[in-house]
Structure 1
Amino acid sequence: MRNALRRRLAASGDDRGAALVAAVAVALIGIMLVSVVVANAVAASQDSGEDRARTSGIHTAEGAVDAVYAELETWTPCSWPAAGPLNGGTSPSRTTATATVQYFSASGVLLTCGPGGSLTGGPLASAVVTATATAADGTRRTVQSKVALTPSTTQGSGAAIFAANSIMTTNNFTVTTTLPDTDVDVWVDGGNVNCNSNVQIKGNLIVVNGTVDISNSCRVTGNLWSKKQLTVHQAAPGGLQTVGQSLYVTANASLAAGTRIGGDVVLTGALSGGTPIVGGAIRQGVAPANIPQYVPVKLPEVLYRPADWTGFVNTGDRQAAYRTWVRAQAAANGAPSWADAMNPARDQCRVAGASYDANGPLVGPTVPTVFDTTNCAETRFEGGLNIKLRSDMVIFAKSFYSTGDFKVTSADGAQHKFWVIVPDRIPNGIAECSGGAGNIKNDSGSLAIAPITLFMYTPCTIDTNNSTDFYGQLYGGTVQLRNSMTMNYVPIGIPGVVLPSTDPISSAGYRVDVVFKREIRNP
C-alpha cells in the first residue's frame, strides 16, 4: 500500500509548473498585442497632429491672403498691414501669419510705395500676395496669390440738396428718403457747412471745397467727406453716432472726446481733440489720391426756356395764362369781386387762399402746364392757399415766397410734380445770382403733401423755416434749412437740364479678381 502511494506521488511530481508556463505565454502574447495597438494609436495620433498642424498653417496663411483681398477692395494700395499679424487658433497651437504685397503695372513693372500710400512707377494693374504662417513649433506654410485689380468708384445716389456756396442746417432739420435701400447726398460745392442743433442727414454729406463745423447733435448716418478742416465740438448724446459710416477729410480734423464714427476715419492731415470711438480704423497722413476725391461741379444754369418742357402746355403768353387761371379759380370759389385774385387790372402776383382773396384752392389744369410769373417782383402764396394738382406744373418766378400754411396737394390722389424755378437771368452757361434773379423762401406750414413731389431751384438763396415738409429736391446758390423741417428725397430733375453727378472722380478701392492661389515652398 505504501509502495503504491509512493509511486503515485512520484508520477504526479513530473507536471509541476506546467500551468505557470502556459500563463506566462498567454501574458506575453497579450503584451505583444497591446504593444501593436499602442504603436498604431501613437502613429495615428502623430499623423493626425501633423494634419491638424498643416491644416491650421494653410488656413491661417489663406486667411491672411483673404484679409489682403478685403483691404484692397475697400482701401488703397500700400495700406497693408492694417493691424499687425493675423493669428489663427489659440494657445498652445496658435499659428501666426504675416503677408507681404507686391504691386505691378499692366506691363509687369514692380511699383513702389511712397509717402501716405501713394504708388510710383505706373498705374496699378495687379498684385502678388504672399502669406507665411508659423506654428508654435516653428513649422511654416506659405500661400501665394496673384490678383488683377480694377479701380472701383463709390457710387453717388444723386443730390437731394445741392448748395453752390454754403449750407446752414439747424433746429430739428431732417433730410431722409422714401426710396428703399437708397441714401441721399447733400452736396456743398464751394462753401462751408455749419450743422447744429438736432440735425439729421440720413445719407451722405459731401463738402467739396469748404470746412465742416458740427455741434449740438448734428448727425450724418452715411459718409462725411470734407475738403478742409472738420471740427466736431461735442459727441452726439445717448451714444449715437455723429457719422454712421466713414469720415474722409483731406485736411486736419478735430473730434471731441467720445465722438462715435461707425466706419473709418481717414485723413490726409492729423487728428486732434479727444479720443473718438471708431468702428473701423483711424488713418492719418494718407496721400490725397488714396481716398475718394470730389471736385466742384458748379450749380447748373437753368434758363426760362418753355420749349424744354416737352409734353407741357408751353406756348403763347404764359404770364397771361397764369393770371387767367388764378382768376378763373377764384371765380369758381365764389371769391368777392373786389378781391385781388378776381381783378383783371391786378397781376395776381400775391395770392391768398383766405376769404378776402381767392376764397379757396387753386385747382390745377388737367394737362402738364408751364406758368410764368417773372413779371412779378415776388410771387407770393399765403393765407392757407392750396394748389391742388391734377397734372404736373412748373412756375417760373423772379423770386418766390410762401407762408401761412401754403401747400401743394393732389386733387385726384395721383402722383404729380411741382417745380418752382427762379431762372438765371444771364444766359452764359454759369448760374449767377445777378440780373434780377431772387430768392426762394418757405415758412410757416407744410409745403408739398405726398404724393406730390417738389423741385425748387434758384441761383440765389433757398431759405426754409418753421415746420416745412416736402418730398423732392433743392438746388440753390446758398441753402438755409432750419426749424422743424423734414425733407424726403425723391429725384425729379429739370427737363432740359443735366444735373451734375455726385460720384467721386477717383477710385475708392479695387475690384479684386483672383488669378491663382496656391501653396508654395517656404521662402
Structure 2
Amino acid sequence: MFLTRLIQNGKDDRGSGLVAVIALTLVTAIIGVTVGAVTVHSLQTTNGVAGSVEARSAALAGIADAELLLRDRAADGTDSCPAGGILTRTGTPAYEVEIFADDLSEGWTSSPSCPAAESTRVKIVSTGFADRATPGAGARGGEVVIEAIYQYVPEYTELEVIDPAVYAYQIEGDLKNFELGIEPNTVIASDIQIRNGNFICTNGASVAGSVVLAQGYADLVNCSISGNLYVSDYVRASGSGSTISGNLIAAGSVLDTSSRAATLSSRAVVQGDVFVGGSVSMTASPGTTRVGGNVTAARNSSTTVSVANSTRVDGNVLSTGTITGGASVIGGTRSPGVAGLQSPPPPLVPDWVDVPFNSDLAWIQNSTWWERGFRNVVTWSGNCSLSGSDPRWGALASYTQRTIIDATGCTNGVVHQSNVSPTVNLQTDIVFFSRSFTFNKLYARASNNVDPRRMYFIVPDNTADKVPTCSGGAGDIYYNNEDDINAPLAIFFYTPCKVTSDRNKMRGQIYGGSVEFRQQAQWTFVPSAPPGIDFSVDENQEEVLSGSYMGERLTLRELSNGG
C-alpha cells in the first residue's frame, strides 16, 4: 500500500512538469511572434520612409525638368512646353507632371495647357513615384505630389514702321483741330515721327496712325490716335475724346511732376496695352477711364499701378512694385512685385537724311534723280514770285518727261501768289529745288484721275552730317493753300529748316527740320517720298507683346504624401 502511494505521487509530479514545459513554450512563442511583428513593422516603416523620400525626389525632378523646358526658348521665341502641358517619365526617377497657365482671371485653366503670351503665372504640379514597393501603395510605389508656381514675364519684340507721314526733327507748337488722315479704303498708317520735342494734342485733333517721340512727352486732351503712342518720357491723356486705338508705350526716361510714366483720367481710353517704365495712375472724375489690354509698369520696387474705382483694366496688371485696385476694376490677374520685368527702351527715330543738290549738270547726271528719269532740267532765276499768268507756272503742264526745276538761283525763293493762273494739269512728276517756298495757293492737278502724280518741293541740305543744317541760304516752307490738292496728285515737302502748315485738304508727306501745324491744318497721308531716297535708314523699331518667359518661382509646397 505504501508502495502504491509512492507510485501515485510520482505520476502527479510528472504532470506538473509537463504543464511547466508547455507554459514556457507558449511564452517563448509569444515573445517570438511579438519580436517578429515589431521587426516586420520596423522594416515596413523604414521602407515607407525611404519610398517617400524617393517619391519626393522624383516629384522635384519633374518640377525641375518642366521648368527647364519652359525656360528653353527656341530662336522663334517659342518655348519647349510639352504637348498638352503634360510631361511623363516612367524610368528612374518616375513622375507625371501637369502644367497649368493662369486663366487671366485670378484662377487656373481647368485642364493642363501651355502658357499663352498673355499669361502672367504658370503652375507646375508634379507627382513623383518611389522606386521600391511600398506597403499600401500601388504597383509604382508610394507617391508625393508637389506644386510650384512661377511668374510669367511679358516679352516685347520690335516691329518695323514704314516711312512716316510726318517726320519732324523738332516739333513746334500745339496741335489744335489738326487732322492727319489716310486715303479711304487703305490700310497704310499715317504715322508721325518726332526726333526732339513734345506732342501736345488738344481740341479734337486726330492722327490716323502712330506717334513716335524719340525725346519728349505726350500730352493729350480730347485727342485721338488711331495707332500706337510710343514716347521716351511720359504720357498724360484726359477727356472723352482722348483715345489711343493701339498701345501706349512710355520709356519713362523723364517722369512727370508726380513721378509717373502714364496718367489716364476723365474717360481717356487706351484700347490696347499700356507698357511703361514707371508708375501708372488711372482715375475717373468724371466718367470711366479704361485700358482694353494689359498694364505693365516696370521700373523698381517703388513703382505703383493705381486703378481707381469707376475705371477699368480689362486685362492683366503687372508691376515691379505695388498694385492698387481689385477684381471689380481689374479683369485679369494682378501680379505685383514681378522680378526681372524690364522697362521699355526709348523709341528710335531715324537720323535726319540729308538731301543735297548742285546746279552743275554733271552732278545732276550722276544723281539718283537722273537715274530715276528726271532728265528734263529747267532753270528758274531772279524774281520767282509767281503771280497772274506767269509763263513759268503755265509751262509745267507741257512737260511730259520727269522734270527738275532748278530754282536755287531765285533771289527770294519761290513764292506762289494766290492769283496765279491757270491751274496746271500735270502730265508727269516734277521736283523743285529752291532756298525756300511760300504757297498762298497751289493750283495744280493731275492730268487725269488714273495716273498718280507727284510734286516734290525741296530745300536742299548740302551738309552731310545726318542733322538738319538750316544755314547757307536754306529757308522755310510755308503752306497756306486755300485750294484743295486732290487725288491722284500728292505733295512732298522737305527742308532742313521749318515747315509750317496752316491750311486743310493737303495730300502727301512732310519731312522737316522743324514742323508746326496751325489750327486749320489737315493732311491726308499719301506715300510720296522721292524715288531712290531712303528715309527709313535706322528706322524706328516699335515694340509689341510677342510672348512671355519664365520668371522667378513664387511658391513651392507639398500637396499630398501617399508614401
With the shorter chain as reference, the TM-score category is 0.5 to 0.7
Are residue 164 (structure 1) and residue 169 (structure 2) matched?
yes
Superposed counterparts of 1:13-32, under 5 Å: none
Matched positions, count: 371
User: What percentage of aligned pairs have identical amino acids?
Assistant: 21
Structure 1 counterpart of 2:24: none
Structure 2 counterpart of 1:299: 352
Are residue 236 (structure 1) and residue 257 (structure 2) matched?
no
- What is the CA–CA distance in structure 1 between the aligned matches of 2:294 and 2:458, rounded to whole Å? 44
Distance 1:196 1:315, change over 3 A: same
Superposed counterparts of 1:166-205, under 5 Å: 166-178=171-183, 180-205=186-211
Are residue 492 (structure 1) and residue 528 (structure 2) matched?
yes
- What is the CA–CA distance in structure 1 between the aligned matches of 2:228 and 2:542, rounded to whole Å? 16
Structure 2 counterpart of 1:44: none
Distance 1:426 1:258, change over 3 A: same
Superposed counterparts of 1:412-423, under 5 Å: 412-413=448-449, 414-423=451-460
Distance 1:271 1:454, change over 3 A: same
- What secondary structure sits across from 1:153 in the alignment? strand
- What secondary structure sits across from 1:363 in the alignment? helix
- What is the CA–CA distance in structure 2 between the aligned matches of 1:73 and 1:199, rounded to whole Å? 38
Q: How far off is 1:289 after superposition?
A: 4.9
State whether residues 352 and 466 of structure 2, in contact with CA within 8 Å, keep that contact through their aligned partners in structure 1. no
Distance 1:451 1:502, change over 3 A: farther
Superposed counterparts of 1:279-298, under 5 Å: 279-286=292-299, 289=342, 291=344, 293-298=346-351
Structure 2 counterpart of 1:395: 432
State whether residues 245 and 270 of structure 2, in contact with CA within 8 Å, keep that contact through their aligned partners in structure 1. yes
- What is the CA–CA distance in structure 2 between the aligned matches of 1:283 and 1:142, rounded to whole Å? 27
State whether residues 189 and 209 of structure 2, in contact with CA within 8 Å, keep that contact through their aligned partners in structure 1. yes
Structure 2 counterpart of 1:378: 413
Superposed counterparts of 1:99-498, under 5 Å: 131=124, 152-178=157-183, 180-215=186-221, 217-232=222-237, 234-237=238-241, 241-251=242-252, 252-272=261-281, 274-275=283-284, 276-286=289-299, 289=342, 291=344, 293-305=346-358, 306=364, 307-309=367-369, 310-314=371-375, 318-319=378-379, 322=380, 347-352=382-387, 354=388, 362-376=396-410, 377-382=412-417, 383-385=419-421, 386-404=423-441, 406-413=442-449, 414-446=451-483, 448-470=485-507, 472-498=508-534
Paired amino acid for 1:265: V
**Structure 1 stretch displaced more, 275-284 or 200-209:** 275-284
Paired amino acid for 2:444: V
Q: How far off is 1:297 after superposition?
A: 2.4
Distance 1:262 1:428, change over 3 A: closer
- What secondary structure sits across from 1:175 in the alignment? strand
- What is the CA–CA distance in structure 1 between the aligned matches of 2:541 and 2:113, rounded to whole Å? 33
Q: How far off is 1:387 after superposition?
A: 3.5
1:263-288 CA distance string (max 9 Å, x none)? 11111111236243111122222589
State whether residues 190 and 296 of structure 1, in contact with CA within 8 Å, keep that contact through their aligned partners in structure 2. no
Q: How far off is 1:480 after superposition?
A: 1.2
Distance 1:188 1:466, change over 3 A: same
Distance 1:152 1:273, change over 3 A: closer
State whether residues 351 and 537 of structure 2, in contact with CA within 8 Å, keep that contact through their aligned partners in structure 1. no
- What is the CA–CA distance in structure 2 between the aligned matches of 1:474 and 1:203, rounded to whole Å? 15
Q: How far off is 1:296 after superposition?
A: 3.9
Distance 1:429 1:504, change over 3 A: closer
- What is the CA–CA distance in structure 2 between the aligned matches of 1:447 and 1:364, rounded to whole Å? 22
State whether residues 355 and 462 of structure 2, in contact with CA within 8 Å, keep that contact through their aligned partners in structure 1. no
Distance 1:429 1:466, change over 3 A: closer
- What secondary structure sits across from 2:533 in the alignment? coil
Paired amino acid for 2:518: R
Paired amino acid for 1:458: T
- What is the CA–CA distance in structure 1 between the aligned matches of 2:186 and 2:481, rounded to whole Å? 30
- What is the CA–CA distance in structure 2 between the aligned matches of 1:151 and 1:356, rounded to whole Å? 57
1:191-230 CA distance string (max 9 Å, x none)? 2222122211011011111111222x21101110111122
State whether residues 163 and 299 of structure 1, in contact with CA within 8 Å, keep that contact through their aligned partners in structure 2. no
- What is the CA–CA distance in structure 1 between the aligned matches of 2:297 and 2:156, rounded to whole Å? 22
State whether residues 408 and 448 of structure 1, in contact with CA within 8 Å, keep that contact through their aligned partners in structure 2. yes
- What is the CA–CA distance in structure 2 between the aligned matches of 1:447 and 1:253, rounded to whole Å? 39
Distance 1:153 1:348, change over 3 A: same
- What secondary structure sits across from 1:460 in the alignment? strand
Structure 2 counterpart of 1:342: none
- What is the CA–CA distance in structure 2 between the aligned matches of 1:159 and 1:131, rounded to whole Å? 46
Structure 2 counterpart of 1:331: none
Superposed CA RMSD in Å reads: 4.2
- What is the CA–CA distance in structure 1 between the aligned matches of 2:484 and 2:499, rounded to whole Å? 14
State whether residues 157 and 543 of structure 2, in contact with CA within 8 Å, keep that contact through their aligned partners in structure 1. yes
1:402-428 CA distance string (max 9 Å, x none)? 014x23211244321110001114344
Distance 1:312 1:486, change over 3 A: same
- What is the CA–CA distance in structure 2 between the aligned matches of 1:248 and 1:426, rounded to whole Å? 34
1:279-304 CA distance string (max 9 Å, x none)? 11222225895536522422211111
Distance 1:162 1:364, change over 3 A: farther
Q: How far off is 1:255 after superposition?
A: 2.2
State whether residues 156 and 501 of structure 1, in contact with CA within 8 Å, keep that contact through their aligned partners in structure 2. no
Q: How far off is 1:242 after superposition?
A: 1.8
Task: Report the TM-score, using the length of structure 1 for normalisation.
Answer: 0.61
Q: How far off is 1:315 after superposition?
A: 7.1
State whether residues 166 and 188 of structure 1, in contact with CA within 8 Å, keep that contact through their aligned partners in structure 2. yes
Paired amino acid for 1:194: I
Distance 1:263 1:429, change over 3 A: closer
- What is the CA–CA distance in structure 1 between the aligned matches of 2:406 and 2:122, rounded to whole Å? 64
Q: How far off is 1:473 after superposition?
A: 1.1
Paired amino acid for 2:240: A
Distance 1:298 1:428, change over 3 A: closer
1:133-188 CA distance string (max 9 Å, x none)? 9xxxxxx99999xxxx9984223132111000125453322112226222222100
Paired amino acid for 1:497: I
1:359-398 CA distance string (max 9 Å, x none)? 9785241110001111222211122543321101000010
1:94-152 CA distance string (max 9 Å, x none)? x5889889xxxxxxxxxxxxxxx9xxxxxxxxxx965559xxxxxx99999xxxx9984
Structure 2 counterpart of 1:86: 107
- What is the CA–CA distance in structure 1 between the aligned matches of 2:529 and 2:159, rounded to whole Å? 22
Distance 1:506 1:187, change over 3 A: closer
Paired amino acid for 1:213: D
State whether residues 247 and 271 of structure 2, in contact with CA within 8 Å, keep that contact through their aligned partners in structure 1. yes
1:11-37 CA distance string (max 9 Å, x none)? xxxxxxxxxxxxxxxxxxxxxxxxxxx
- What is the CA–CA distance in structure 2 between the aligned matches of 1:131 and 1:235, rounded to whole Å? 44
